[in-house]
Amino acid sequence: SIGNFNGSLSRSINVESLRPSDTFPRRHNSATPDEQSKMAEFCGFQSLDSLIDATVPKSIRLDAMKFNKFDQGLTESQMIEHMKMLAGKNRVFKSFIGMGYYNTAVPPVILRNIMENPGWYTQYTPYQAEISQGRLESLLNYQTVITDLTGLPMSNASLLDEGTAAAEAMAMCNNILKGKKKTFIIASNCHPQTIDVCKTRADGFDLKVVVADLKDFDYSSGDVCGVLVQYPGTEGEVLDYGEFVKNAHAKGVKVVMASDLLALTLLKPPGEFGADIVVGSAQRFGVPMGYGGPHAAFLATSQDYKRMMPGRIIGVSVDSSGKPALRMAMQTREQHIRRDKATSNICTAQALLANMAAMYAVYHGPEGLKVIAQRVHGLAGVLAAGLKKLGTVEVQELPFFDTVKIKCADSKAIAEAAYKSEMNLRIVDKNTVTASFDETTTLEDVDKLFKVFAGGKSVPFTAASLAPEVPDVIPSGLVRETPYLTHPIFNSFHTEHELLRYIHKLQSKDLSLCHSMIPLGSCTMKLNATTEMMPVTWPSFTDMHPFAPVEQAAGYQEMFDNLGDLLCSITGFDSFSLQPNAGAAGEYAGLMVIRAYHLARGDHHRNVCIIPVSAHGTNPASAAMCGMKIVTIGTDAKGNINIEELKKAAEANKQNLSALMVTYPSTHGVYEEGIDEICKIIHDNGGQVYMDGANMNAQVGLTSPGWIGADVCHLNLHKTFCIPHGGGGPGMGPIGVKKHLAPYLPSHPVISTGGIPAPNEAQPLGTISAAPWGSALILPISYTYIAMMGSGGLTDASKIAILNANYMAKRLENHFPVLFRGVNGTVAHEFIVDLRGFKNTAGIEPEDVAKRLMDYGFHGPTMSWPVPGTLMIEPTESESKAEMDRFCDALISIREEIAQIEKGKVDANNNVLKGAPHPPSLLMADKWTKPYSREYAAFPASWLRSTKFWPTTGRVDNVYGDRNLVCTLLPTNGVEEQEAAASA
């Protein structure tokens, strides 16, 4: 009675169906094969492939891309296994190396709720202030931490690393003195990588860098614009720079001080010595070392130089209701950078890490930070006292904060002994080591170090037993007296619940990829998949010091080698440098490679760089920083480079031609047909082709920079290769080069490096970033993306990115003019809609449309770049048809709203676009004075009824903010008044 079975059917199982099913490309690429066909048909093509064939010029089309490894793509769980294998090859020793990188206890609440939280890491740079008030507040906190601790009133919202921050400060000194004094002196007590980055950077500015012992500084030439000193010094010494600064100032020399935030909780701040600029890293404020980065660097200065400060600055302004609201100050500086007059090209910075550091300060508060600093200082004191007692070595007598300098008979032998106990010391020279302490150092560590210095024998005392007799070595004149972090924000959120809620409160104000598409042309805001993000916070990756012996980092090194190989396959290049830690840093590095190449061939005169007018502002800025002469060429009516003009420019500069910088597909979103011809013209005239790889998302698997004919290219890993934007960084800008350029790729003064794979010979151009492999900790993101997609998945991604852009362009073309198309009427992976006409017909500007889009729950596209008065839309392959349809519906609906103005039905000055965005406070106000209805303002589309992301302020007034520049938290009274005003 238990059922009768009808015998078995025979079948044949396809082995493919038995392969692991957790494949990744279908999670990353949105359109299913069926949708691909339908969307291609909608665009007027029979299939996706015929759309692609019509779009990508045949002359540059690749047959197929093939990888040496991972060609098929790993599944998500296979990927995690592979990464675990690599992680297992990293041996994390306890680091006492210091040199700007310290162990830190990342507060778990910050780790989970910021670093591991897509609500924070997928945000874009806060250009759209009304949907970014959370991170703007956090970055303002960061600026306040920096100004309070350094004792200088102005700070930016992060730079790339301490080395480049010092280089930026050097450039400021040059600017302050209007380029008239061309010597910059660096004290030998600075970190070696800081010195090298400055030296490399000085070249392009025609500055002479002199490295000298502090006591040998010589201003007698009258040619010195500035000096850089470090406080505490790289070997630990804490010096009183009072007289030194007075002396420099007396000679008209600007003083830059590299410093350490934790030390500054105990030490007299540089501002009180009179330093003009202070730079450093916020890494040890709760950001893991990560084998070199990403970390937020800082730069603080006085009111006098604030408008020369590089990077983004957050400032306080007011919104349309007169309530306080934050936004990026002086934005226009950045949007167009200064082009040929630029002395900085920084764009993507380190926002996410700045936010982590700021939250660390918020969590610990001034008292908590001081406790940490005193403990570190106390332990260092115990080490020094113990070593003196031991008598086997000699301890430096100068005051120190966290680093003890030790003279010994054989530093290498000491270091070897330390390795045996899984500890890394810094070897300064044959007879000198240093030990830097940090938040994670313990009494037991100190005991272990005693044993190392006692030649492995046990010592007759312990760290604990010594503590009561340890003398303080900081002279009273250097003890900090000025209070810091007195604002309530730093004195309220010290329990985990309070901090958790503060983090979530800020997050709730910010639109991210968790809410809706962020269709920013040129920014490639695609999926940042969880599997890609997971290894980033594994201790075997986070806890590695960048200057640890390379053999301890075998997992990292294997990943670098694999990644270099994959990137070569993708780009058609022969070697890669992973050092540049942003796109603009890559541009600069790439041009410096070209410069070094010409110099090596004796072509000292080759210094002309041709750049199309449509280039991103960082292009001319980078060229200017390399000391190049920029020749601008125009584009034709179709948005393409004017080849005739290019040819003329190249020939006219034949003798001195260094390079062309070209973005491909163009910043106009078009595959220029003449790109191979363009490359040929440059080469024929002795130049090198630099390709800006920002639009690489339209090339991968279909063509490649190397195949097209470029000699160098940077990749924005934070665009094409899935590193999340982090609200304005981190990013990575590795550069790939053809064989002839590989020898010139950057190296590093502490850990030597170069091209991957390595060229036969090396003549490195110098050092680009503070860390040998830039922000190594985020490389697993791009690596896993590529390895999971495989060559096929990546090629599909490019195709679908193009499909999506064409689909949206098609949906919008009857409502807005679409500027620039390829020969067959298609666009590349992004496209431009023209709003210029509406200025006349309705008084509407792109900003009005972007702000109104917020009411529809969307982040506006790239505004007025590369063409003023337009919006550039890039959907990426990760956005679904449903999401794109919603976005198109929103834009079409806004077009209707504009039509109402055009028809005169609606007031041109008082309408739903000019009034946008509409925050709840406005929509729920008792008084409603708008000529349109609340519901029309709030719910212009039906999908918003089920959930809507709300802007938290009315339109922010940029002009007011720039006129009344306030870049730190208001003092408490101010806050209370403003809050009272806000709730009135």
Ligand X SMILES: Cc1ncc(COP(=O)(O)O)c(C=O)c1O
Applying the rule CB under 8 A, the residues between 115 and 154 that interact with a copy of itself are: 116-119
Residue 796: which of a copy of itself, ligand X, ligand O=C([O-])O, none does it interact with, CB under 5 to 8 A by kind? none
Number of other CB atoms surrounding residue 223 within 10 Å = 13
Residue 667: which of ligand O=C([O-])O, ligand X, a copy of itself, none does it interact with, CB under 5 to 8 A by kind? ligand X
Q: Edge-to-edge strands of the sheet including 688-692?
A: 575-577, 735-737, 712-714, 688-692, 657-663, 608-612, 629-633
Calculate ∠ Cα 21-25-26, nearest 5°. 70
Q: Could you say whether residue 125 binds ligand O=C([O-])O (CB under 6 A)? A: yes
Q: Could you say whether residue 468 binds a copy of itself (CB under 8 A)? A: yes
Q: Which residue in the shown chain puts its C-beta closest to ligand X?
A: 583
Calculate ∠ Cα 637-639-645, nearest 5°. 75
Closer residue to a copy of itself in complex, CB, 210/613: 210
Minimum CB–partner distance for residue 693 and ligand X (Å):
8
Q: Could you say whether residue 247 binds a copy of itself (CB under 8 A)? A: yes
Closer residue to a copy of itself in complex, CB, 477/483: 477
Enter the tokens of residue 384: 């020094």
Enter the tokens of residue 851: 């702000």
Q: Could you say whether residue 463 binds a copy of itself (CB under 8 A)? A: yes
Q: With CB under 8 A as the rule, give the number of residues binding a copy of itself.
A: 123
Q: Could you say whether residue 348 binds ligand X (CB under 6 A)? A: yes
CB 139 within 8 A of CB 260: no
Type of residue found at 316: V
**Which residues of 735-806 form beta strands (DSSP E)?**
735-737
Q: Could you say whether residue 318 binds a copy of itself (CB under 8 A)? A: no
- Of residues 56, 248, 347, 956, which one binds ligand O=C([O-])O by CB under 6 A? 347
Nearest alpha carbon to residue 532 among 319, 721, 694: 721
Q: Could you say whether residue 339 binds ligand X (CB under 6 A)? A: no
Residue 972: which of a copy of itself, ligand X, ligand O=C([O-])O, none does it interact with, CB under 5 to 8 A by kind? none
Q: Which 335-374 positions form the footprint of a copy of itself (CB under 8 A)?
A: 371-372, 374
Residue 751: which of a copy of itself, ligand O=C([O-])O, ligand X, none does it interact with, CB under 5 to 8 A by kind? none
Minimum CB–partner distance for residue 979 and a copy of itself (Å):
7
Minimum CB–partner distance for residue 42 and a copy of itself (Å):
20
Nearest alpha carbon to residue 249 among 278, 229, 271, 276: 276
Distance CA 218, CA 82 (A): 55
Closer residue to ligand O=C([O-])O in complex, CB, 347/710: 347
Dihedrals phi, psi of 472, to nearest 5 degrees: -85, 135
First CA to last CA across the chain, in angstroms? 79
**Which residues of 213-308 form beta strands (DSSP E)?**
224-231, 254-260, 277-281, 297-301
ω into 730 cis (within 30 of 0): yes
Helix axes 846-855, 881-902, angle to 10 degrees: 120
Q: Could you say whether residue 395 binds a copy of itself (CB under 8 A)? A: no
- Of residues 334, 692, 711, 848, which one binds ligand X by CB under 6 A? 692
Enter the tokens of residue 733: 């800008």
- Of residues 197, 347, 700, 794, which one binds ligand X by CB under 6 A? 347
- Of residues 23, 348, 524, 767, which one binds ligand O=C([O-])O by CB under 6 A? 348
Closer residue to ligand X in complex, CB, 372/523: 523
Minimum CB–partner distance for residue 732 and ligand O=C([O-])O (Å):
13
Closer residue to a copy of itself in complex, CB, 302/537: 537
Dihedrals phi, psi of 294, to nearest 5 degrees: -80, 145
Number of other CB atoms surrounding residue 901 within 10 Å = 21
Closer residue to ligand X in complex, CB, 99/523: 523
CB 923 within 8 A of CB 933: no
Minimum CB–partner distance for residue 124 and ligand O=C([O-])O (Å):
8
Distance CA 871, CA 868 (A): 8
Residue 125: which of ligand X, a copy of itself, ligand O=C([O-])O, none does it interact with, CB under 5 to 8 A by kind? ligand O=C([O-])O
Nearest alpha carbon to residue 891 among 904, 875, 906: 875
Nearest alpha carbon to residue 359 among 528, 152, 115, 538: 115
Enter the tokens of residue 301: 């200065």
Q: Which 464-523 positions form the footprint of ligand X (CB under 6 A)?
A: 522-523
Minimum CB–partner distance for residue 583 and ligand O=C([O-])O (Å):
7
**CA distances, 787 to each of 21, 25, 716, 942 (Å):** 16, 11, 17, 40
**3-state SS, residue 363:** helix
Residue 882: which of ligand O=C([O-])O, a copy of itself, ligand X, none does it interact with, CB under 5 to 8 A by kind? a copy of itself
Q: Which 584-613 positions form the footprint of ligand X (CB under 6 A)?
A: 584
Minimum CB–partner distance for residue 694 and a copy of itself (Å):
21
Q: Could you say whether residue 667 binds ligand X (CB under 6 A)? A: yes
Q: Could you say whether residue 568 binds ligand X (CB under 6 A)? A: no
CB 232 within 8 A of CB 400: yes
ω into 920 cis (within 30 of 0): no
Q: Which 484-523 positions form the footprint of ligand O=C([O-])O (CB under 6 A)?
A: 523
CB 765 within 8 A of CB 744: yes
Q: Could you say whether residue 442 binds a copy of itself (CB under 8 A)? A: yes
Q: Could you say whether residue 972 binds a copy of itself (CB under 8 A)? A: no
DSSP 90: B
Q: Which residue in the shown chain puts its C-beta closest to ligand O=C([O-])O?
A: 125
Closer residue to ligand O=C([O-])O in complex, CB, 314/362: 314
Residue 982: which of ligand O=C([O-])O, a copy of itself, ligand X, none does it interact with, CB under 5 to 8 A by kind? a copy of itself
Number of other CB atoms surrounding residue 467 within 10 Å = 16
**Which residues of 725-808 form beta strands (DSSP E)?**
735-737
Number of other CB atoms surrounding residue 629 within 10 Å = 14
Minimum CB–partner distance for residue 561 and ligand X (Å):
24
Q: Could you say whether residue 243 binds a copy of itself (CB under 8 A)? A: yes
Number of other CB atoms surrounding residue 491 within 10 Å = 14
Token pair 């679904």 is found at 880
Distance CA 827, CA 832 (A): 9
Q: Could you say whether residue 845 binds ligand X (CB under 6 A)? A: no
Q: Could you say whether residue 533 binds a copy of itself (CB under 8 A)? A: yes
Longest dimension (CA), the chain: 109
Nearest alpha carbon to residue 100 among 547, 511, 442: 547
Enter the tokens of residue 466: 């010594």
Minimum CB–partner distance for residue 895 and ligand O=C([O-])O (Å):
27
Radius of gyration of the chain (CA): 29
What string marks each residue from 513 to 552 as x (binds ligand X by CB under 6 A) or -?
A: ---------xx-----------------------------
Q: Which 861-900 positions form the footprint of ligand O=C([O-])O (CB under 6 A)?
A: none
Residue 692: which of a copy of itself, ligand O=C([O-])O, ligand X, none does it interact with, CB under 5 to 8 A by kind? ligand X
Q: Could you say whether residue 20 binds a copy of itself (CB under 8 A)? A: yes
> Segment near ligand X (CB under 6 A), from 3-11, 95-103, 579-587, 830-838?
579-587
**CA distances, 445 to each of 379, 382, 421, 437 (Å):** 10, 11, 10, 10
Q: Which 122-161 positions form the footprint of ligand X (CB under 6 A)?
A: none
Residues in touch with ligand X (CB under 6 A):
347-348, 522-523, 582-584, 616, 618, 663, 667, 692, 694, 716, 731, 733
Which residues bind to ligand O=C([O-])O, rule: CB under 6 A?
A: 125, 347-348, 523
